[in-house]
A and B are shown apart, each in its own frame.
Chain A
Amino acid sequence: MIKHNLPLEYTLAEGWLQPFSSGILSGGAVARQCSSCTEVSFPPHRTCRCGDTRGSWITLDGRADIHYRTMGADGDFALVKFRGADTLCTVKLCNFAADQRVGQLRAATTGQSLPALHLYPVQEHT
Chain B
Amino acid sequence: MRSPSGVTVTGAAVTEFNRRRDNSSFRDWSASAFEQALRMSGLERRDIDALVVASESDFFTLQLNPASVLASDLGLTGAACSRVEGGGASGQLAVHAAVRAIQSGHIDHVAVIGVDPSASQLDPATVKSLYSYSFDAWTDGMSGITSTALYALSFQAFMQHSGLGISELAEVTRQNRRNATHNPGAHLGRTHTLDEINQSPLIASPYRRLHCSPLSDGAAAIILSGSRLTPGARRAAPSIIGIGAASDTAHLGARENIGSFAAKTRAMQRALKEADIRIADIDTAELYDAYAGAQLQAIDALGLSDNIATDLLDGAFAPTGTMPVNISGGLMGQGAPVGATGVAQTANCALLLEGRYHPPLQPSALPRIALADTHGGICTTAAVTLLAGARA
Contacts and interface: CB of A to CB of B under 8 A. Distances in A.
A15 B141 CA distance: 16
A24 interface: yes
A24 B138 CA distance: 12
Interface string A63-87: 0000011111111011100000001
B201 interface: yes
A23 B168 CA distance: 42
A103 B60 CA distance: 37
Q: How large is the interface on B (under 10, 10 to 19, 20 to 34, 35 or more residues)?
A: 20 to 34
A17 interface: yes
Interface string B112-151: 0000000000000000100000001011101111101110
Interface of B: 23, 62, 128, 136, 138-140, 142-146, 148-150, 152-153, 156-157, 201-207, 249, 251-254, 258
A30 interface: no
A1 B121 CA distance: 11
B153 A71 contact: no
A88 B253 contact: yes
Nearest to A44: B139
Contact of B142 (A41, A73, A114): A114
Interface of A: 1, 4, 6, 12, 14, 17, 20-21, 24, 41, 43, 45, 49, 68-75, 77-79, 87-92, 114-118
A72 B253 contact: no
A45 B202 CA distance: 33
Nearest to B62: A4
A21 B138 CA distance: 9
A92 B152 contact: no
B144 A92 contact: yes
A70 B156 contact: yes
B166 to A, nearest CB: 14
Given A70-B153, A90-B253, A116 B143 contact: yes
A29 to B, nearest CB: 12
B4 to A, nearest CB: 32
23 contacts: A43-B139, A70-B149, A70-B156, A70-B205, A71-B202, A72-B149, A72-B201, A73-B201, A73-B202, A74-B128, A74-B149, A75-B144, A75-B145, A77-B153, A77-B204, A79-B157, A79-B258, A87-B251, A87-B254, A89-B139, A90-B140, A116-B144, A117-B139
